[in-house]
Amino acid sequence: MSDFDTTGDDYTADDYGTTDEFSTDDSASYTDTYGDYTAEAELDLDGDGLEESIGLDTNADGIDDTFDSDFNNDGFIEQSVTDVDADGIAESAMIDTDGDGDLDQILTDSDEDGWADTVESDTNNDGVIDEVQIDYDTDGVIDEVQSY
């Protein structure tokens, strides 16, 4: 969050019909005209001398972020893509939540106990992943089908 220190405050809340102005030393300003409800805000968060509405250059390399992120110059910011199997076809952006180098989408043993998740999920060995059945009150009847 930016810290805006005020400089040269000039605002009068009670003078109807006059322009209230507020400016800061961090290239931000606010102007409000009573009746017209006009508001302006100018921010230069990266310090490049350009308002963020004009140019957004978050890494201050002198190149607008839109161009930094448009690798094929088609006018659209590229999506984050990964080619896991090096086949030249980019898979969709995937996550590695446990940080072991295996992306979650291709993870087959999420608890890393040596047993594939599909095997652990088929306790009766019928080839179909089992439903989770819960009996909270331990009366022998699955709660989701119990009626009171």
Residue with more model confidence, 137 or 24: 137
pLDDT in tens, 58-102: 555 655 555 555 666 676 655 555 566 777 666 655 566 667 776
Q: Report residue 6: phi and psi, to 5°.
A: -80, 145
* CA angle at 66 for the pair 65 and 67, rounded to the nearest 5°: 90
Residue with more model confidence, 125 or 5: 125
- Residue extents of the structural domains in the chain: 79-107, 109-148
Mean pLDDT (the chain) is 59
Q: Report residue 106: phi and psi, to 5°.
A: -105, 5
pTM here is 0.20
Report yes or no: 12 and 23 within 8 Å, Cβ to Cβ: no
Per-residue pLDDT averaged across 119-148, rounded? Answer: 70
Of 128, 146, 129, the closest CA to residue 137 belongs to: 146
Is residue 31 pLDDT above 60, yes or no? no
